[in-house]
Chain A
C-alpha cells in the first residue's frame, strides 16, 4: 500500500550528522572538483556530458535532415554527409545512450540499494574521466574534418586502409577502444555494488527492477564489449601495421568483422534499452499508485533477455549469404526474444489497469515510450523473418525501425527519468506546463520524423545517401521527416529550458515528491554526501512504503548502521543481504584523473603514430595505478603477523 505519509523515524541526533558531514563532505575547492569520488557528483557529470554529446549528435541529424528535405540539395558535400551520419550513429549509441543511462545508474544505484557510495568510488571517477576524454577525442575529429565516415558499424572492406585512407577510421577504432575501458569499469562497479553494498535485509527478491536492469546490462557489457574491442583492435592493426585479418588477398575474411561486430552489436541494443526498461519499471508504478505487477516475472524476463540477446546477432547479416540453416536458428531466436520483452509490456499494462493513474510529465513520457517502442518492436518482428529482411535491408525502413526502438525505447524513458529524478538530483521541482509542451512536441515530432521513413524505405530509398533524385515518390516523405526533425528539436530544446528553469527558479523539492517506493526517496533532496545518516534495514520490496523499514532509521537505530568513524558503508551477503561488516571507503584523490590523462596520451600517441608519446602515457598510467593501489603501511600487529 502506498502511504507516503508514513511517519519516518526522527533520525539520529545532530551530533551524528555533524560527524558524518565532517567525514564525507568534500572541500568546495577547484582541486576538490577534480578529485571528487562522490557517486552523485560523478553521476551528474555523466548526465550532463552525455546530454552535451546528445546535442552534438542531434545537430548532426538536423544538418542531415536539412540536406535531405528536398531532392538534389547541396548544403552538405558527400564527404561531410558521410562523417555526420557516422558520428551521429556512433555518438548516439556509444557516447550518449549508455553513458546517460550509466549516469542515472551512478546516481541512483547506491541510493536505491541503501549504500553510501559505489563499491569502487575511485574507479568510478576514473570511468567518468575516461568517458569524457574518449568523447572529446572522437568529437574533436569533426572540426578537423577527420571524423569516422564508415557508418556506425564500419564494415570492412569499405573501412580498410585502401578504401578509406586518412585518420577517420583510426579515430573510430581507437576512440571506441578508449571508451570501452570506461564502460567495462562502470559495469564491474555496478555489479559489485549491487552484490555487496545493499542495505541489510535487501535480499535479491527486494532489489528494485531498475537495479536488476543495470546489473543485467552490466553482465552484457562484460561479455559483449570485449568482442567489439577485439574487432576494433584487429581493424586498427590491419590499417596501421598491415596485418591481414580482413585482407582477402592474403587469406583474411571480411565477414569476421561483421560477426564480431554484431556479437557485440545485438546485445548492445539491449545494453541500451534494458536500463531504460528499468526506468519505466521504476517510474510507471509510482504514477499508478501501486507496486509493479509481476515483479518476479519482470526480473526473470530481464535476465532472459540478457542471455538470449547473445544468440540473435546473425539477423543483422541475413543479406550476407550465410548458410540457410543458420538463418533458421537465428530467425527463431530473434522471434523468441520478443516473448520476455512482450511480457514486460503486459506487466506495465496490468500495473496501469490495476492502479489509479496520476498523469504527470514522467508518466506521459512513459506512455510515449510504450506506444513508440511497441511500434518499433512490431517492425522488429518483421525483420526476424529472413525473407522480409532481405527485401528491406539497408533501406530507410531499417532507419525507421531502429529509431522507433532506440528513440522510443531509450530516449523517452531517459526523458521520463530526467523529469522524475530531477527533484532528487537537484532539489528543485520543474515546471509541469513546460514539461507537457515539451512532451507533446517531442511525441509529435518523433513520429513525424520517423514514421514517413517506413514509407520511403518501402518505396526503395536506401539509407546513407547524401541526396536523391526527385520524382521517385520519396520527396513528400522526406520533407515530412525534415519538418518532424525540427519539431522534435524544438521539443528537446524545451526540455533543456525546463531543466535550466527548474535549477534557477524551481520550487524547492520535498524529499519524496511522488510518493515513490525505493530508497532514494527516503533521504533528502538532494542527498547529503553520505546519502543516509542511518543505513536502513530493508523489510520489503517497497521499503519507503513499509513502516518497519522507516522505523529502522528512527531513534532506535543501532551504531552498526550509523558508522561515523571515518567514511564507512556496509557489506552484506550477495544473495540474502545479511549484515557482514562495515568497510572503509576511499577519500577523494586526483589519481583517477591523472590515470585517465595517461590513457588519453596513449590514444593520442597511437592516433598520430607518435609511439614514444603513447609509451610515455602508458608509463604515466601504470605509475599512477601503482600508487593508487599501493597498500597502506601496516605495522606487523595491524597486518596480523605473529611475533
Chain B
C-alpha cells in the first residue's frame, strides 16, 4: 500500500473518523433541504393556483385586452437550455462521489453556462414583450411578470449557489466523504428546473387550451 493510501486508511479508521464519516441514514442537511423545497414548492403551487383562479374568474378572452397568445418559440428554446442543465449537475455529483474533482468543477461550470444562457434568453423575451404590455397593464400582465420573474430570481439564486460551490471546489473542500453541499445545491437546481416545466405549461401552453 502506498504511503498516501495508508494515510487515508488511518484518517478513515480513527475513532472520530468512524463516528462522523459513516454514511448511515439521511443527514439533517438532506431533511432540511427537502423541507425547504417543500415549502418553496407550496409557494409556487399557490402562485399557479392563483393564476388559474384569476383566469377562470376573469373568463374569456384570456389573455384579455387584445394581448396575443404567448409566443412559444423562445420559451421552448429556454426549456431546452434549462431542463438539460440538470445533467451536468448530476454528472458533477457522480464525479465527486468517485473523487474526481475536475469532473465536479467541469459539471458545475457547464450548469453555470446553461443557467446564465437561460437568464439571458429571459431578458431577450422581456425586451420584446415589455413593448406590448407591462405588469401594470392588467391582471394577465401582472401574473406573467410575477411568475416568470419569481422563477428567474430562483434561477439567479441557484447560479449564485453554483458559483459559490465552484469557488469552494477550487479550494479543494470536497471529496467522496464530503460532498453534502454539492448534493444540496443539486437538489435546489433540479427543483428550479422542475418548476420551469410547470411554468411552461401554466403560463405558455395553458392559454391555448
Contacts and interface: CB of A to CB of B under 8 A. Distances in A.
B4 A631 contact: no
B32 A247 contact: no
Nearest to B63: A251
Interface string B3-20: 011011001100110011
A222 interface: yes
A172 interface: no
Interface stretch (A288-296, A404-412, A573-581): A573-581
A556 interface: no
Contacts of A223: 38-39, 42
B116 interface: no
A255 B42 CA distance: 20
A252 interface: yes
Interface in A597-643: 622, 626, 629-634, 636-643
Interface in A189-231: 191-192, 195-197, 222-223, 225-227, 229-230
B24 A634 contact: no
A243 B147 CA distance: 12
Contact of A225 (B39, B99, B174, B176): B39
Contacts of B46: 226-227, 230, 260, 263
A319 interface: no
Given A582-B20, A583-B20, A639-B177, A192 B32 contact: yes
A509 B10 CA distance: 48
A341 interface: no
Nearest to A227: B46
B95 to A, nearest CB: 11
A437 B142 CA distance: 57
B87 to A, nearest CB: 23
A226 B39 contact: yes
A256 B53 CA distance: 8
Given A571-B28, A639-B178, A634 B172 contact: yes
A104 to B, nearest CB: 21
B2 interface: yes
B173 interface: yes
Interface residues of B, number: 61
A637 B58 contact: no
Nearest to B57: A253
Contacts of B137: 244, 250
B129 interface: no
Which of A119, A187, A226, A574: most chain B CB closer than 10 A?
A226
B168 interface: yes
A568 B8 CA distance: 23
Which of A197, A227, A573, A622: most chain B CB closer than 10 A?
A227
Nearest to A622: B160
Given A241-B136, A581-B20, A584-B20, A636 B39 contact: no
A74 interface: no
B176 A196 contact: no
Which of A192, A565, A568, A640: most chain B CB closer than 10 A?
A640
Nearest to A578: B25
Contacts of A622: 160
16 contacts: A188-B35, A192-B32, A196-B31, A223-B42, A226-B39, A227-B46, A243-B142, A245-B143, A250-B138, A252-B139, A565-B15, A637-B4, A637-B7, A641-B101, A642-B8, A643-B8
Interface of B: 2, 4-5, 7-8, 11-12, 15-16, 19-22, 24-28, 31-32, 35-36, 38-40, 42-43, 46-47, 50, 53-54, 57-58, 64-65, 99, 101, 135-143, 145-146, 160, 164, 168, 171-178, 181
